[in-house]
Amino acid sequence: MPSVLAIAAHPDDIEFFFAGAMIQLSRRGWDLHYMNLCDGSKGSTTMPPQQCAVTRLEEAKDSCRVLGATFHPPIYADMEACYTFENLRKVTAVVRAARPSIVLTHSPRDYMEDHEIACRLAVSAAFSHGMPNLESDPPVEAFMDPVTVYHAQPVGNRTPLGELVHPHLFVDETDAIDKKVEALACHASQKQWLDESQGQDSYLQTLRDLSRQIGQLSGKFEYAEGWRRREHWGFCGPDDDPLREALADIIVDTRSA
């Protein structure tokens, strides 16, 4: 069974930006793996950090069950994200354990550094999965199969400086949007936080709005996710494009337009 590993920054990022592709891959027989690098401990205006981290860990596990994915725990606290060799060893262990053909992660340029650092760690771990001289933490044997990396759309479909980002692939999630919302609803502690910190009147409606915006960009789908394939050097073959191949019946590929 082929597998896909989603590596995101915070609890609820996978649900906002990755879960549509994951649901569609699952329907086609793929094994799902789910990892948030941050523990979510600072994502509240009402709970102290330890309580918040425990609450959000359970919410993420609940969401993971909705998606039918294997859960991999976080490795650092909110706002403590750093690109270090110690963190790379931990993420490499997860990549090796999951043995994915596809790694889904954030845009290299996004609205906050936690997303960008998660992206860097995911990319480096996808690269180092086949390096037997790099000992992961915990130790997991390296494997040599190709791993193709795909980047989600940045928040708002724009870089931090406002440039519009156009996906390579639009994945139709119209028939998956309700399950995606169900998964996000598991993160109930985030409603107040997102309302107060980012002006979102309803985080569930925000998910639908973001997906509808990408659907409009596709020119075809009501709801969609956008993905960009990272170049192949050191990761996979030059023509490897497993996300496009697996979901060929529900994508718009802008590179072939």
**Among 26-40, 190-204, 220-234, where is mean pLDDT lowest?**
190-204
Pairing assessment for the beta strands 70-72 and 31-36 based on DSSP bridges: parallel
Number of H helices, E strands in the chain: 9, 8
Phi/psi-derived region of residue 251, left when phi > 0, alpha when psi is between -120 and 50, beta in every other case: beta
Confidence of residue 118 (pLDDT cuts 50, 70, 90): very high
Domains of the chain, each with CATH number or no CATH: 3-256 (3.40.50.10320)
How many whole angstroms separate alpha carbon 36 and alpha carbon 33? 11
Examine the pLDDT at 188 and tell me if it is beyond 90: no
pLDDT at 189: 87
